[in-house]
Amino acid sequence: MHNQAALKRLKKIEGQVRGLAKMVEDGRYCMDVLMQVAAVQQALRGVSRELMHQHLEHCVHNAVTKGDKHRETELYKEMLDLIYKYSR
């Protein structure tokens, strides 16, 4: 996913969040709101997965193929931290 595609998806999610706020303001049925919250969370996870894929495909791949051992080690640590945070 390139930045433009990520931005497009995030703007759509932003609209969904505004819709959620309106649902709460209007006193909509809790289960309907919770279902929409779950949809937003899933959409954010999708953006996150795609961004992680792009990071691995481009940044990490470039560091490895260029033989930049220092940058490769930094990215390795960065990815481990991200995976640990992501898996919580």
Could you tell me the residue ranges of all domains in the chain?
3-86
Structure confidence by residue, pLDDT tens digits, 25-80: 999 999 999 999 999 999 999 998 888 888 888 888 888 888 878 888 888 888 88
- Tracing tokens 């959409």 back to the chain, one arrives at 43
User: What does pTM read for this prediction?
Assistant: 0.78
- Both tokens assigned to 53: 């894929």
CATH class of segment(s) 3-86: mainly alpha
Q: How many residues does the chain have?
A: 88
